[in-house]
Structure 1
């Protein structure tokens, strides 16, 4: 018997650079803190200058300048000032989020049962928690470390090897799992750390801790290079799957990965901003707007935090840009209504992953709105304002998509189904800014392992880049007042 193999199925050197770059980005970003740091490093490499929210911006910003700042180290804002920008002009914005559903270590995590040491965790967001069972898990996040007397620093930590696991119960002991897998998030979703017997090796009584297992703290200290666990004062740690993101599918057409929602949209927004603002970019010099991305934390739990989209972060940023006098001489008086003028000349793309049609559950999708991978970025629409898209804002997006011939699709949820939401409606209502909701199509949303299409990485980058480069001119031709 002869076997025939397709060259397309085995060839990997044809995978686009932006896809392999995204794979690296998501593998290096097991927590929002890591995602922000990865974004920051890319911005610095592209010539972006750090500014601080606590400092005065007046006189520090300039036309064609590129800047960024972080808040809580889990949210990042970056912007580039157009060469023809003057106070009162618009801001072209893409907003996304850095967080994903996960398990987070409790403030008191020390648990022990029947010879096992366990780690107490709490659920974050609306995850498909059954997908977290029987996975090789580890921890990542930030630790507050005392570096010298009364000096404390935020340090990133990522334990690269699997140290945790949430085992399922054998089918022999629970035959009901044949019909349904039911579990309690508090009692059954607790990972194993080690056995009590092994934990005693090399741990003295002096290392006892009331809140966390000494062996766990010793691991943190070792990873951070601390000479003692007493240097560790607090931490925010999440669990993550150690299996790396990868390209899959017969024709290398899929991305199998954790945290596609929403690191893919964060990555594509970041890449589009950088691509369109390189030193050789003539479009920034000719732009009369400011180009801005804002990658927020805490979207998965409602965005109501000091660094979430429901905060005053973006509003205060826009107000400061309006009053910074960038693009104007020092003796020019700034209008008292300049912020309101700017808002009505600005536009927000709310970028969050969308639902691709599932071949095994087609009945769950409205028959005329079934997005597919590789066929373009999805415009999300909901009559009940779960998404902020309007006829006007979708028109602007379609015009922006023409610059790089980006295909677009539409999604509407069925009338008998619930509908998710995004930062779009929240920011649109808070700021009064024109907003459109979009996202790349994916399957297994909120699973520990999700699926998206490789072509759609490039689609989103080009859509956002086209928007940044052409919105100011498009806006002159869209008359709705």
Structure 2
């Protein structure tokens, strides 16, 4: 189905759903919290890794790890241990600036916040933006240690550019030093004298509050209604305060932060929800796995490079034969969903001549001979048939031989589990910028594709002759 044949009202409704999701997800912790809310709204039950599980056919469940990774699954009504998994994998993190463990900096009368560069961001796009902080804070309470979300909903930080008159040559090729030049300004010492922040000097020696600008601690404590001495640690992400929105003269674009990869977190989850009416006839487990730390290699306890997904799949397979999990793998399939590069009108020479994905052209199959993507002829064929059933067009992308190729969680999980995998993503521009650009039709196309995948994979897989 061509993009222009999609119902405009349905396209905009889906796009607005994504925009709301992105605006509620300034950090992976907020993304997982919003996913939990949507899952519980639909009667999914949270399972704890430390507790025993009783998995039943037609059951709806989810598991959270580190508050930044979430795996949701719906058990088919005809499921038996040893049957397969129809999974979509995505990631909750995006390139950003993160507050350093000791961030208190001051120079030339400015109070600044030391930050680390997380992932491969286009860092010059972070200059001259209205920034804030969001993430999690670990607080000591009467009941023990508590994980609390924080999101300061006003501009409190800025990384200012140097004026052109002082560095004309620098602006010909702007390449800021990540240690010296990306230091956000929080306040001035002049105003600090007039508006005293919370006094952290009374905090015990070694207190985390002593390691940061008092004004930052003041904002956190006000938002959380706690005292500085109760703050044990935190993981704070800088985020743009400008909300995501629909744009373009024809209302066809989405301008937003973190589209890579909240786009696929949202659309995969909606696809799972939309497939639930057919769950009673399903023999497999339908799953959406959203991991943290993809942007830095996935090698963490909550990343796709860990054994987390394997452990969960094994526990679901419990109750069958001794090799029920091993029997499930050849019956399983993973759609590794991560955004794709649309052709850029001003840099068209950067794209391979015959592989130029367009906005509105449908989800993009990612292929790479050197296995940076996990797509094979078989897995691509399966997805083509699934897309055909949903009347969703597909595109393909291959990088130029003289260009480097990014990667996804697809090859990681495919190799780790021996799992058939296809890599796809919706086309977008400005990937890894503080503000990215996608198309409104891509949201609905992706939801329809994932819904078709959950509804049709098991039957289609049974028809394949190996």
Q: How does 1:130-149 map to 2 (within 5 A)?
A: 130-148=124-142
Q: Deviations over 1:399-425 (max 9, x none)?
A: 111221111000000111100000001
The structure 2 residue matched to 1:307, chosen from 257, 281, 302, is 302
2:121 aligns with: 127
Q: Contact conserved, 2:263 with 2:443, CA < 8 A, in 1?
A: yes
Q: Helix, strand or coil: the match of 2:210?
A: coil
1:382 aligns with: 368
1:67 aligns with: 61
The structure 1 residue matched to 2:394, chosen from 399, 404, 408, is 408
1:85 aligns with: 79
The structure 1 residue matched to 2:178, chosen from 185, 192, 199, is 185
1:239 aligns with: 238
Q: Does 1:437 align with 2:426?
A: no
1:252 aligns with: 251
Q: In the aligned structure 2, how far is the partner of 1:271 from the partner of 1:462?
A: 9
Q: Helix, strand or coil: the match of 2:40?
A: helix
Q: Contact conserved, 2:200 with 2:210, CA < 8 A, in 1?
A: no
Q: Deviations over 1:266-320 (max 9, x none)?
A: 100111111211xxx1x10001110001000000000000000000011111111
Q: Could you tell me which runs of 5 or more consecutive residues in structure 1 were left unpaired when the two chains were aligned.
A: 1-7, 326-333
Q: How does 1:36-55 map to 2 (within 5 A)?
A: 36-55=32-51
2:204 aligns with: none
Q: Contact conserved, 1:373 with 1:442, CA < 8 A, in 2?
A: yes
Q: How far 1:335 sits from its partner (Å)?
A: 1.8
Q: Does 1:23 align with 2:19?
A: yes
Q: How does 1:7-406 map to 2 (within 5 A)?
A: 16-57=12-53, 60-148=54-142, 151-203=144-196, 206-208=199-201, 210-226=210-226, 228-277=227-276, 281=277, 283-323=278-318, 325=319, 334-406=320-392
Q: Contact conserved, 1:15 with 1:252, CA < 8 A, in 2?
A: no
Q: How far 1:205 sits from its partner (Å)?
A: 8.9
Q: Contact conserved, 2:198 with 2:214, CA < 8 A, in 1?
A: no
Q: Contact conserved, 1:203 with 1:214, CA < 8 A, in 2?
A: no
Q: Deviations over 1:434-458 (max 9, x none)?
A: 0000000000000001000000001
Q: In the aligned structure 2, how far is the partner of 1:258 from the partner of 1:206?
A: 35
Q: In the aligned structure 2, how far is the partner of 1:404 from the partner of 1:182?
A: 45
Q: In the aligned structure 1, how far is the partner of 2:64 from the partner of 2:168?
A: 50
Q: In the aligned structure 2, how far is the partner of 1:93 from the partner of 1:75?
A: 15
Q: In the aligned structure 2, how far is the partner of 1:24 from the partner of 1:204?
A: 34
Q: In the aligned structure 1, how far is the partner of 2:85 from the partner of 2:175?
A: 48
Q: Helix, strand or coil: the match of 1:303?
A: coil
Specify whether residues 13 and 474 from structure 1 end up closer, same or farther in structure 2 by C-alpha distance, changes over 3 A only: closer
1:5 aligns with: none
Q: How far 1:62 sits from its partner (Å)?
A: 1.0
* Structure-1-length-normalised TM-score: 0.92
The structure 2 residue matched to 1:450, chosen from 436, 454, 458, is 436
2:206 aligns with: none
Q: Deviations over 1:198-229 (max 9, x none)?
A: 12334379433531111211110001112x21
Q: Deviations over 1:47-97 (max 9, x none)?
A: 10111111111xx22111100010000000000000111111111000000
* Structure-2-length-normalised TM-score: 0.95
Q: Could you tell me which runs of 5 or more consecutive residues in structure 2 were left unpaired when the two chains were aligned.
A: 202-208
Q: Deviations over 1:112-144 (max 9, x none)?
A: 001000000000000000000000000000001
Q: In the aligned structure 1, how far is the partner of 2:264 from the partner of 2:335?
A: 11
Q: How far 1:14 sits from its partner (Å)?
A: 7.5
| Number of aligned residue pairs | 453
Q: Helix, strand or coil: the match of 1:398?
A: helix
Q: In the aligned structure 1, how far is the partner of 2:446 from the partner of 2:197?
A: 54
1:331 aligns with: none
Q: Contact conserved, 2:198 with 2:218, CA < 8 A, in 1?
A: no
Specify whether residues 131 and 405 from structure 1 end up closer, same or farther in structure 2 by C-alpha distance, changes over 3 A only: same
Aligned alpha-carbon RMSD (Å): 1.4
Specify whether residues 178 and 105 from structure 1 end up closer, same or farther in structure 2 by C-alpha distance, changes over 3 A only: closer
Q: In the aligned structure 2, how far is the partner of 1:302 from the partner of 1:72?
A: 17
